[in-house]
Amino acid sequence: MTYARPLLRLLEALGKLPGVGPRSAERIAFYLLRVSEEQTGQLAQAILDVKERLRFCEICFNVSEEPRCGVCQDAARDPSTICVVEEPKDVLAIEKTGTYRGLYHVLLGAIAPLDGIGPELLKIDELVRRVAASEGGIREILIATDVDKDGETTASYLAKLLRAQPVKLTRLASGLPVGGHLEYADHATLARAVEGRRELV
């Protein structure tokens, strides 16, 4: 016996989501079968709204409803410092610490050779052009990629690439566990890491 085709299609679609295995997909699918049509309609509409109304900021590639995100539009931010992160969710994690007042650049991923993700698939060229176009206006690049293998590979690549630019290169300080992800760090730990960032040599 097998599931009905609509349910199989839903299981297949859910199984493609990151972190959702076959059992989790089944739990979600059967939950959706139990809830009201109104609730499933709200979920479907929320997904459609995200796809239709959100875009990536034309400057930093953070998520935004407008061509430029709220951070890039904020005249009170320090334009001389750029914090480089992997994903938009990392911007939110650092913003929650309340310790950083510069701008951001979102790479939309990390270099992961085993997964076929090279530098050309990330927003690295855009970062280099952004720094060059600032003509010395950007004085510090804080590399805040995850403290795992791919994050460290990306940080090393960026450091080599940006050494030719007249900027200070820094990395988040210790306090974040090796192999950890920014989104899971508590606010105090992440705040200490931002405040104690070190220069890359």
Domain boundaries, the chain: 5-53, 74-199
pLDDT score of 41 more than 70 = yes
Distances in Å between the Cα of 2 and the Cα atoms of 6, 25, 31, 124, 169 are: 11, 15, 18, 46, 56
**Rounded to two decimals, what is the model's pTM?**
0.79
What type of residue sits at position 15?
G
Residue 29 confidence (pLDDT): 95
Residue labelled with tokens 């994690």: 93
Distance CA 69, CA 105 (A): 11
User: What band does 187 get if pLDDT is binned at 50, 70 and 90?
Assistant: confident
**pLDDT one-digit tens code per residue, 52-92:** 999 999 999 999 999 999 999 999 999 999 999 999 999 99
Look at domain 74-199 and name its CATH class.
Answer: alpha beta
Residue with the bigger pLDDT between 21 and 147: it is 21
Average pLDDT over residues 172-198: 76
**What is the C-alpha to C-alpha distance for residues 150 and 13, in angstroms, rounded to an integer?**
27
Give me 58's structure tokens.
């034309």
Outline where the chain has alpha helix (H).
5-15, 22-34, 37-53, 70-73, 88-95, 124-133, 149-162, 187-195
Residue with tokens 């990151």: 18
Q: Widest CA span of the chain, in angstroms? A: 67
For the chain, state the CA radius of gyration. 20
Task: Dig out the tokens for 142 from the structure.
Answer: 């804080």
The model's confidence at residue 28, banded by pLDDT at 50, 70 and 90, is very high
Could you check whether 5-53 and 74-199 share the same CATH topology?
Answer: no
Write the burial class of residue 126 (CB in 10 Å: 0-12 exposed, 13-18 middle, 19+ buried).
middle
Q: State the architecture of 5-53 in CATH terms.
A: Orthogonal Bundle (1.10)
The pLDDT tens digits of the residues spanning 124-175 come to: 999 999 999 998 899 999 999 998 899 999 999 999 999 988 999 999 876 6
pLDDT above 90 for 183: no
Q: Which residues contact 29 (CB under 8 A, 6 or more apart)?
A: 7, 10, 11, 14
A 10 A CB-CB count for 99 gives 14
Share of the chain above pLDDT 90, in %: 77
Q: How confident is the model at residue 191 (pLDDT cuts 50, 70, 90)?
A: confident
pLDDT class of 178 with cuts at 50, 70, 90: low
**Could you tell me which residue, 198 or 25, shows the higher pLDDT?**
25
Task: Check pLDDT > 90 for residue 195.
Answer: no
